[in-house]
Amino acid sequence: MFGLELLRGLAVTARNLIGSYFSGDRMVTVQYPEAARPTPENFRNFPFLVYDERPEELRCVACKICEKECPPQCIYIEQRRDEKGRPIKQPEVFDIDLAVCMSCAICVEVCPFDAIKMDHQFDHPTDNRFSGLLADKWKLARSNQYYHSIRPAEAAEVDARLAAEAAKKAKPAK
């Protein structure tokens, strides 16, 4: 009979309409921004720089590996130098152009010092699309506690690894 399948389709629609009030499988959205979906630990958005004690002492040693490997080339690093021009293992300038960054996390993977990690914060509203989206190292610096708060499992693993490396380094000196 013509139209029977139309009615069958409408029955499916009705089942979904009513089901959306009862079943989480049929209603997967939430009313953002009043409610937000929980962010998984692995979620990545833009990078940040980790410091242990003070924001002036970043873990970053300005080795420029991330600058070299970054696919869209959005990282710019200058090494700090003392009065005599000798290099110090700290970045003088560490800029990330957030307008160019594509959140691929390759900088995180290649960093040998666990100094750069991916943030969970995804909203960066600004009224200046040039300087407002250029993050310098003060804007990028986050404490290790913050890293622990967003990625507890990964941060604990990193801390254990860094502690083991420090112990290994300390041994031959004795």
Residues that bind another protein (CB under 8 A): 2-3, 5-6, 8-9, 11-13, 15-16, 25-26, 28, 40, 42-44, 65, 69-71, 102-106, 109-110, 118
Q: Output 38 or 172, the one with its CB closest to another protein.
A: 38
- What's the rounded Cα separation, in Å, for the pair 45 and 60? 19
Torsion sign, CA atoms 157, 159, 160, 164: positive
Instruction: Provide the minimum distance between the beta carbon of 154 and another protein in the complex, in angstroms, as a whole number.
Output: 10
Instruction: Provide the minimum distance between the beta carbon of 156 and another protein in the complex, in angstroms, as a whole number.
Output: 15
- What's the rounded Cα separation, in Å, for the pair 102 and 19? 38
Instruction: Provide the minimum distance between the beta carbon of 149 and another protein in the complex, in angstroms, as a whole number.
Output: 17
Q: Output 70 or 135, the one with its CB closest to another protein.
A: 70
Q: Output 12 or 167, the one with its CB closest to another protein.
A: 12
Instruction: Provide the minimum distance between the beta carbon of 50 and another protein in the complex, in angstroms, as a whole number.
Output: 17
Instruction: Provide the minimum distance between the beta carbon of 134 and another protein in the complex, in angstroms, as a whole number.
Output: 21
Q: Output 6 or 173, the one with its CB closest to another protein.
A: 6
Q: Output 153 or 166, the one with its CB closest to another protein.
A: 153
